[in-house]
Amino acid sequence: MSVDVKQFGKVAVVCGGFSSEREVSLNSGKAVLDALLSKGVDAHHFDPQETDISKLREFDRVFNVLHGTFGEDGSLQGVLDGFDIPYTGCGVLASAIAMDKFRCRLIWQGFNLPNVPYVVLDDHSDFDAVEREFGLPLFVKPAAEGSSVGVVMVETAGELAKVYPTLKQYHGAILAEPAITGGEYACSLLGDEALPSIRIIPAGKFYDYEAKYLRNDTTYQCPSDLTAEQEREMQDIAKRAFEAIGGRGWSRVDFLKSDDGKLYLLELNTVPGMTDHSLVPMAAKARGIDFASLCVQILAQTL
């Protein structure tokens, strides 16, 4: 893909911000900024925690790697639409839906897409009954946080009731899910193309924040161990899931596989990580696209 980078004009790489994913976002932003500069793009670091958001009017377009609240939930997208500034990734509606795992799954259910089973917890839930229904271990998580922030693995009877109050500090509904143990996978989308899937094998009990960003003993298989038929099925489901929420540009769709080989949608990320541990660059590399070229391709979607 050949692009005249002068077409991009002055580009803001928006990262950092105020969310629980600030540090990850800063790392993504630095990687993207360095990559764009290496390609000759007139790119600049922009952190909304440090600079008034109105200053974005001084730029021609935005490369958005502002993970989490404000950057990934449709808020920044609405501001940029109001400023009439092109930006990478999904628009307001798709961003807001994908950020809320509960409402995203309601839409996927309407399209008969395979969701991970779940229940929404509240102060009146019968926590013991949920443990009996899903069995142990099970997972409990806030619906509107990313990077596995707030995800807890419940392993002992009676623990769910104790964990639940600690998650009320986070955004969105609180979901409980059964453990699906046949493997965790990611399928990245770049425009109309699905990139090779990745199997994620954490050294710990599950793929938590530490395994994603801080540890170096997580194993990534790319291409993954899926059969050719399973790979086609995952790519088809990922594209349909993205289309169902009105997605555009690029994303990463996360899956779980059961022991009998059934695929389940876990969540969809509209502003995926772009650090040295991140999955979209890994999948692009397997397709023969280096990191800097990937960043230019994503930015070119704004033209």
Catalytic residue, candidates 21, 73, 131, 184: 21
Strand-pair partners of 119? 176
Torsion-angle region of 214 (φ positive above 0: left; ψ -120 to 50: alpha; else: beta): alpha
Catalytic residue, candidates 20, 147, 224, 251: 147
Q: Are 12 and 32 in contact (CB under 8 A)?
A: no
269 is an active site residue: yes
Alpha-carbon distance of 96 to 270, in angstroms, equals 10
User: What is the b/e burial string over 104-143, where b = at least 16 CB atoms within 10 angstroms of the residue's CB?
Assistant: bbeebeeeebbbbebbebeeebebeebbeebeebbbbbbb
110 is an active site residue: no
252 is an active site residue: yes
Alpha-carbon distance of 301 to 303, in angstroms, equals 6
21 is an active site residue: yes
Alpha-carbon distance of 158 to 128, in angstroms, equals 6
81 is an active site residue: no
Both tokens assigned to 129: 């009954």
H helices present in 122-189, as ranges? 127-134, 159-163
220 is an active site residue: no
Radius of gyration of the chain (CA): 19
267 is an active site residue: yes
Catalytic residue, candidates 72, 131, 177, 254: 254
Catalytic residue, candidates 19, 252, 264, 278: 252
Alpha-carbon distance of 188 to 174, in angstroms, equals 26
Alpha-carbon distance of 287 to 194, in angstroms, equals 10
Catalytic residue, candidates 73, 145, 177, 267: 267
Catalytic residue, candidates 213, 249, 251, 278: 213
118 is an active site residue: no
Q: Which residues are known catalytic residues?
A: 21, 147, 213, 252, 254, 267, 269, 273
